[in-house]
Amino acid sequence: MRDDTSVVDLVTRARDGDQEAWDQLVDRYIALVWSIARGYGLRRPDIDDVSQEVWLSLLRHLPLREPAALPGWLATTTHRECRRVVERARKREDLERSAPRQPAVDEVARLVDELLAAERRIALRAAFDRLPEPCRTLLALLVQDPPIKYAEIARLTGTAVGSIGPHRARCLERLRRLLAAGGFGMDDLTGR
C-alpha cells in the first residue's frame, strides 16, 4: 500500500463527488486491475468489461468501511469479476458444445436437393405403377443398362419392331398425364 493517508483522502474526496480525486484513484490503481485481469488470460474486450465493472462497483460501495484497504478491495473485486467472466465463458462454450450443430448452408441445400429427388422418384414410381402392364414392361425394357436391342424387345413383348417407337410414345404420354394429375410434370422429374 502506498500511503494510507493519501488513499483515505482520495477515497473520502471521491465519495464527496470530487472528480479529480476519483481520476487520481483510477490512475493510481488501474494497473492493478488490469494486471489481475491479464493474469486470468482474458482478452482485451473482457478486460475492459472487468475494469468497468470494478470501477462501477467501487462507485456503488463508496464510502468504504476502511478506505485505507482500497487496494485489497480492488484486488478482491477484480478477482471475483474475472472468475465470473471466465465462468460465463466456460458455460457458453459448454452450451455451444452440447447444442446441436447447425448444418452449413451448402449442406442444407444438398439435403433439400436430395429430398426433392426422393419425392420425384416416389412420384415417378407411383405413376409408373398405375400404367397398364404392357406399358410398364415396354418402358422397363427400354431403360435397361446395357440397352436391349429393339429386336429383343419386340420378341419379349410380342410386338413388331416398327411399333415399339409409337407404343413407347403413347406410354410416355400416359405417364406424363399420370404425373400431371399427381402435381408433377416431366420437367419436375428431370429437375429442369
Average pLDDT per run of 10 along the chain, which is 192 residues long? 74 89 92 93 92 91 84 94 93 79 74 86 88 93 90 93 94 91 65 48
Residues 92 and 121 in one domain: no
Q: Give me the pLDDT at residue 113, please.
A: 87
Kindly give, in sequence order, each residue whose CB lies less than 8 Å from that of residue 28, ignoring residues fewer than 6 positions away: 2, 10
Q: Give me the pLDDT at residue 98, please.
A: 77
Residues 37 and 113 in one domain: no
Kindly give, in sequence order, each residue whose CB lies less than 8 Å from that of residue 146, ignoring residues fewer than 6 positions away: none
Please check whether residue 103 is in contact with residue 111, taking contact to mean a CB–CB distance below 8 angstroms: yes
Which residue, 88, 89, 28, is CA-closest to 58?
28
Residues 73 and 119 in one domain: no
Which three cell numbers, joined as nine digits, stand for 87?
A: 465462468
**Would you say the pTM of this structure is higher than 0.75?**
no
Q: Give me the pLDDT at residue 66, please.
A: 86
Look at residues 44, 79, 98 and tell me which one is the last residue of a structural domain: 98
Q: How many domains does the chain have?
A: 2
Write out the residue range of the structural domain in which residue 152 sits.
105-190
Residues 41 and 57 in one domain: yes
DSSP state of 100: P
Residues 47 and 67 in one domain: yes
